[in-house]
């Protein structure tokens, strides 16, 4: 990564062994070490960061240090003028706590200086987080889903000024909020979009709801999305790529992508349906997970060299565990997304949970692992397995090319 305009190599590790694997006793007075190397592998700087527990009297609450895993790429991992004005470096890192007795996990976030002192801290129990769209003239924000005995809700947090934005309780003005959220430009400012956990029915048609709020939490409008009749679930896809108004066509209106679940015609089987629609209008694209191709289990994009999304990928999971990935050309072609390619996974995959690897029988000429935003996170040639131990928690798609063809498979890192 670049630090003050210069290329550097970063290595992070515990100063001492983290824990005795037999007694589960943690090493006291441990530190997170961040080493900064020059490209010729000479050590430029070594920093020791404070990872002391906020719960020193709770031996079964284990803090695990995390560095280089925060949102917005590596923009905030190591910086010099973002969090203060002195010429020294600052380091963004986290402590992920695991309560072994209650089986609970949460995260605290910190900024440390070169002397190892914590100069910024966020010590609310973050259960999950996601970056919000960058808006010109506004601080970058992350949505922290916080949960504790005292509070449950979503706090919009300004990263660079290290100040809280608006806090949405989990139940806000009588509406149950979901964790599907983001923000979009609105005039000279921005608006929040948050999916609701419950919808409405009008004239026998059900609608999922997205509420658009001002930065101060005032309801600006309710966005209704057609989810047909008798839905069992609604979840809008509000990642930045899906909210691009030019994704589907060239007008300035957002076409919303969303998932809704329904009951099949036979038995009690539930299936997902993927739809794209403008607010309060009938869907312009629908794809069902009910049928021989299997239920829909994921979606994402393929980008060109300029990071422009050019294909929408939708993954079906077939009954026998194999998968079908359909790719649709973007933008719309005469009002419909055109199918570009169908790939059926007939390769048998197996998981080695102890070694944290995924393997397959045929030797791959090449594999590529994509996250759900379409970015390649790992690639290698001529192998029959891949280690997933370094991947962050989330959903990924691995694409494998062998002598027999090309296959894809979805997996989850928990």
Q: Residue 144 falls within a domain, yes or no? A: no
Q: Residue 205 falls within a domain, yes or no? A: no
Q: Kindly tell me if the per-residue pLDDT of 114 is higher than 80.
A: yes
The candidate with the shortest Cα–Cα distance to 316, out of 337, 344, 341, 336, is 344
pTM of the model: 0.78
Q: Residue 183 falls within a domain, yes or no? A: no
pLDDT value of residue 338? 47
pLDDT value of residue 227? 94
Q: Residue 381 falls within a domain, yes or no? A: no
The whole-number average pLDDT for the span 391-405 is: 76
Q: Residue 127 falls within a domain, yes or no? A: yes
Q: Count the domains in the chain.
A: 1
The whole-number average pLDDT for the span 379-391 is: 80
Quick one: tokens of 48?
């020791």
Q: Residue 324 falls within a domain, yes or no? A: no
Name the DSSP letter for residue 333: B
pLDDT bin (cut points 50, 70, 90) of residue 49 is very high
Domain that holds residue 64: 1-131
Instruction: Tell me the per-residue pLDDT of 299-328, one tens digit each, with 9 for 90 and over.
Output: 988 888 888 888 899 988 876 667 888 888
Angle at the Cα of 57 from the Cα atoms of 56 and 61, rounded to 5 degrees = 75
- Mean per-residue pLDDT of the chain: 88
The candidate with the shortest Cα–Cα distance to 179, out of 228, 128, 229, 217, is 128
Q: Kindly tell me if the per-residue pLDDT of 235 is higher than 50.
A: yes
Gap between the terminal Cα atoms of the chain: 27
Q: Kindly tell me if the per-residue pLDDT of 341 is higher than 50.
A: no
Quick one: tokens of 130?
């996601």
What are the phi and psi torsion angles at 82 (to 5°)?
-80, -50
Q: Kindly tell me if the per-residue pLDDT of 236 is higher than 90.
A: yes
Q: Kindly tell me if the per-residue pLDDT of 147 is higher than 60.
A: yes
Q: Residue 60 falls within a domain, yes or no? A: yes
Which of 62-66, 281-285, 298-302, 367-371 is the least confident region? 367-371
Check if the beta carbon of residue 208 is closer than 8 Å to that of residue 258: yes
Q: Kindly tell me if the per-residue pLDDT of 337 is higher than 70.
A: no
The whole-number average pLDDT for the span 3-30 is: 91
pLDDT value of residue 385? 84
pLDDT value of residue 140? 97
pLDDT bin (cut points 50, 70, 90) of residue 384 is confident
pLDDT bin (cut points 50, 70, 90) of residue 174 is very high
Q: Residue 114 falls within a domain, yes or no? A: yes
Q: Kindly tell me if the per-residue pLDDT of 150 is higher than 60.
A: yes
């Amino acid at each position: 990564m670049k630090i003050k305009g210069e290329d550097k190599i970063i290595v992070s590790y515990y100063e001492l062994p983290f824990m005795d694997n037999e007694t589960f006793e943690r090493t006291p007075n441990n530190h997170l070490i961040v080493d900064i190397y020059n490209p010729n592998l000479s050590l430029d700087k070594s920093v020791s960061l404070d990872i002391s527990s906020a719960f020193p009297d709770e031996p079964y609450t284990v803090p695990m240090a995390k560095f280089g895993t925060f949102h917005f790429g590596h923009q905030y991992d190591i910086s010099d003028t973002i969090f203060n004005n002195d010429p020294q470096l600052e380091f963004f890192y986290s402590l992920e706590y695991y309560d072994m007795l209650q089986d609970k996990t949460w995260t605290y976030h910190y900024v440390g200086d070169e002397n190892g002192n914590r100069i910024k801290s966020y010590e609310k129990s973050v259960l999950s987080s996601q970056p919000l769209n960058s808006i010109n003239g506004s601080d970058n924000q992350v949505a922290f889903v916080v949960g504790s005995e005292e509070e449950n809700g979503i706090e919009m947090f300004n990263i660079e000024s290290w100040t809280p934005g608006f806090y949405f309780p989990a139940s806000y003005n009588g509406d149950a909020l979901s964790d599907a959220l983001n923000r979009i430009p609105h005039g000279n400012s921005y608006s929040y979009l948050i999916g609701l956990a419950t919808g409405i029915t009008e004239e026998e048609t059900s609608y999922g709801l997205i509420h658009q709020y001002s930065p101060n939490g005032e309801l600006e409008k309710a966005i209704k999305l057609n989810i047909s009749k008798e839905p069992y679930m609604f979840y809008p896809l509000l990642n930045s790529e899906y909210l691009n108004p030019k994704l589907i066509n060239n007008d300035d209106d957002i076409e919303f992508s969303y998932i809704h679940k329904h009951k099949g015609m036979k038995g009690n089987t539930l299936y997902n349906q993927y739809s794209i629609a403008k607010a309060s209008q009938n869907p312009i694209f629908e794809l069902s997970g009910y049928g021989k191709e299997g239920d829909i289990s994921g979606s994402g994009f393929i980008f060109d060299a300029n990071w422009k999304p050019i294909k929408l990928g939708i993954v079906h999971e077939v009954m026998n565990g194999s998968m079908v990935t359909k790719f649709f050309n973007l933008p719309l072609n005469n009002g419909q997304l055109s199918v570009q390619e169908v790939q059926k996974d007939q390769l048998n995959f197996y998981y080695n949970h102890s070694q944290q690897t995924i393997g397959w029988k045929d030797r791959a000429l090449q594999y590529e692992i994509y996250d759900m935003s379409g970015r390649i996170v790992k690639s290698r040639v001529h192998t029959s397995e891949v280690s997933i131990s370094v991947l962050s928690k989330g959903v990924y798609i691995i694409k494998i090319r062998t002598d027999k063809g090309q296959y894809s498979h979805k997996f989850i890192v928990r």
